[in-house]
Amino acid sequence: LSVGIVIVAAGRGERAGSPEEGPKQYRPIGGRAVIAHTLERFVTWPQASKIVVVIHRHDENLLRAALEQVADLPEIEIAFGGTTRQQSVLAGLRQLKNSGVTHVMIHDAVRPFFDHDLLDRVAAALAAGAPAVLPAMPVTDTLKRGDTSGLVVETVPRTGLHAAQTPQSFLFSDILAAHEKAAAEGKSDFTDDAAIAEWCNLPVTLVTGSADNVKLTIKRDIAMADEKLSAGLL
């Protein structure tokens, strides 16, 4: 396999607190930007061939500062994202188009705590011929559907339900074609890349994710990550 990596980091992070603190992928945890941790785990993985980071146009200086915090950084390519995650992913895929990669892993910059075992599991499924691979964890909470007045309508059986993680990984030509098709047809409501693959009838293979591989979404997630890193728990 020749595996390209697309790290999407063009979000504005509005859910993570006040805008003046900046997007969450650049906030410090354990003394370095979130995205520096994410990048380091990819650059130290022997199978990563090309890395594209997709950023917002205003964030170039923030990214440059974060890149300084990664040891032995190989050449990284930068692409500019769009107003939705889906548009940002497509910008990253287009950037990889002529790079010769056969496969691609698409990862959220705000998930810094995956490990190489997870990447190896995903790569093994790709090598076995899966065109689309989704790391995910079985749902352990009991799920309730509520109505707008705050009352429980029903309990949703959780059998077979999984919480999707990244890096979601694909045969490069398949996912590029799927994303281009979605964009051409104006389909913009996909919340992850596996959903676009499903929409194109690609079989999506589940592999076991990792409990640590959480998405840092709200301010509290950043504070907890910082504490865990300082305590040596991650």
Q: Which is nearer to ligand C5P, 48 or 130 (CB)?
A: 48
Choice between 85 and 103, CB closer to ligand C5P? 85
Nearer to ligand C5P by Cβ, of 1 and 164: the residue is 164
- Residue 155 CB, nearest distance to ligand C5P (Å)? 27
Helix or strand run (H / E) with residue 166? none
In terms of CB distance, is 208 or 217 closer to ligand C5P?
217
Provide, rounded to whole angstroms, the least separation between the CB of residue 209 and ligand C5P.
16
Q: Do residues 133 and 204 make contact, with C-beta atoms less than 8 angstroms apart?
A: yes
Query: Residue 105: in which H helix or E strand, if any?
Result: strand 103-108
Site residues, ligand C5P (CB under 6 A): 8-11, 25, 54, 81-85, 88, 108-110, 215, 217
* Beta carbon of residue 41, minimum distance to ligand C5P (angstroms, whole number): 14
In the complex, minimum distance from the CB of residue 109 to ligand C5P, in angstroms, rounded to a whole number = 4
- Angstrom distances, CA of residue 172 to CA of 128, 140, 228: 15, 32, 35
Q: Which is nearer to ligand C5P, 50 or 85 (CB)?
A: 85
Q: Using an 8 Å Cβ cutoff, are 31 and 231 in contact?
A: no
Rounded to whole angstroms, the Cα distance separating 14 from 40 reads: 25
Residue the block writes with tokens 């093994």:
124
The SS3 call for residue 173 is helix
Give min distance, CB of 202 to ligand C5P, in A: 21
- In this structure, the chain runs to a length of 234
d(CA 3, CA 95) in angstroms, rounded, equals: 14
Question: Least distance (Å) from ligand C5P to the CB of residue 11?
Answer: 3
Q: Which residue is nearest to ligand C5P (CB)?
A: 11
Strand-pair category, 32-33 with 48-55 = unpaired
Tell me the three state secondary structure of residue 171. strand
- Give the phi and the psi of residue 186 in degrees, each rounded to 5: 70, 20
By C-beta, is 16 or 122 nearer to ligand C5P? 16
Q: How far is the CB of 216 from ligand C5P (least distance, A)?
A: 9
H or E stretch at 64: helix 60-67
Q: Residue 108 or 130: which CB sits closer to ligand C5P?
A: 108
Q: What is the DSSP letter of 151?
A: -
